[in-house]
């Protein structure tokens, strides 16, 4: 019998979950499961039998670099094949982000991703929250952070990324007001970047006061 891949553990037991079968049909970089189940409805009766495909991506982290002294943020652009498949512009504007290794601390992973994808190094971070991205078909849970980084003048701040992963990220430094205006115009289509920027729009005055205090 083929061993179950570590990235696709069985769905945990829960009073609302009535499993019928659980098969791992793909175990590449990300595992894919076919799960047949029922769930307990609000009146206690079982639902109809459902068959769901579930993509197992695990946990990830995203971190928005913010310069409280100049009011600037750092974003990245990179090519995204699924965006092109969805009819979107494939060069997506995003925040630095990545997946967690098994047992890795999310804050440490966020700092690592910022260094790899922008070259900047946050010296102080604040957690925004934890959110599911595609709960209708994927188990990915993202840890969101904002980090303090002294940033250069606005504009293209070079390219970064890990060559070993075929990654190239274009680093963009923008005034926060400009990034928010781009978001309002629909030019930032990435949900993690949108959530980070909207959080910062609310919290920037507080962070600026706290992070620039001597």
Average pLDDT over residues 179-203: 97
Is residue 60 a contact partner of residue 100, using CB atoms and an 8 Å limit?
yes
Residue 88's CB is within 10 A of a number of other CB atoms, namely 13
- The pLDDT of residue 24 is 93
Q: Is 33 exposed, middle or buried (0-12, 13-18, 19+ CB in 10 A)?
A: buried
**Residue 85 half-sphere exposure toward CB, CA atoms < 13 A:** 3
Q: Which residue has the higher pLDDT, 7 or 69?
A: 69
* Mean pLDDT of all residues in 135-161: 93
Handedness of CA 63, 97, 122, 103 (dihedral sign): positive
What are the residues whose beta carbons fall under 8 Å from the beta carbon of 162, sequence distance 6 or more?
A: 116
Contact between 41 and 60 under an 8 Å Cβ cutoff? The reply is no
pLDDT at residue 148 is higher than 80: yes
CA distance 11 to 133: 18
pTM above 0.75, yes or no: yes
Q: Are 73 and 93 in contact (CB under 8 A)?
A: no
pLDDT, one tens digit per residue, over 41-89 is 999 999 999 999 999 999 999 999 999 999 999 999 999 999 999 999 9
> What's the pLDDT band for 165 if we cut at 50, 70, 90?
confident
Q: What residues are annotated to the active site?
A: 165
Phi-psi region of 63 (alpha: psi -120 to 50; beta: other; left: phi over 0): beta
What pLDDT sits at residue 1?
45
Q: Determine the pLDDT at residue 214.
A: 67
pLDDT digit string (tens) for 20-39? Answer: 999 999 988 899 999 999 99
DSSP code, position 29: S
| pLDDT level of residue 2 (50, 70, 90 thresholds) | low
Residue 157 is predicted with a pLDDT of 83
**pLDDT of 75-134, one tens digit each?**
999 999 999 999 999 999 999 999 998 889 999 999 999 999 999 999 999 999 999 999
């Amino acid at each position: 019998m083929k061993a179950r891949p570590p990235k696709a553990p069985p769905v945990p037991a829960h009073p609302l979950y009535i499993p019928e079968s659980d098969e791992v049909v793909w175990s590449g970089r990300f595992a894919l499961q076919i799960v047949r189940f029922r769930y307990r409805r609000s009146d206690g009766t079982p639902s109809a039998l459902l068959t769901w495909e579930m993509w197992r991506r695990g946990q990830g982290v995203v971190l928005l670099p913010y310069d409280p002294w100049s009011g600037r943020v750092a974003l990245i652009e990179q090519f995204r094949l699924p965006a092109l498949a969805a009819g979107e512009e494939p060069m997506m504007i995003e925040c630095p982000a990545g997946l967690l290794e098994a047992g890795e601390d999310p804050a440490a992973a966020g700092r690592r991703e910022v260094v790899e994808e922008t070259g900047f190094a946050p010296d102080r971070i604040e957690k925004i929250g934890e959110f599911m991205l595609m709960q209708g078909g994927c188990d990915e849970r993202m840890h969101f952070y904002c980090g303090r980084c002294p940033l250069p003048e606005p504009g293209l701040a070079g390219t970064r990324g890990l060559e070993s992963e075929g990654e190239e990220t274009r680093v963009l430094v923008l005034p926060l007001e400009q990034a928010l205006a781009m978001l309002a115009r629909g030019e930032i289509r990435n949900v993690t970047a949108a959530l980070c920027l909207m959080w910062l729009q609310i919290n920037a005055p507080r962070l600026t006061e706290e992070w620039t205090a001597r």
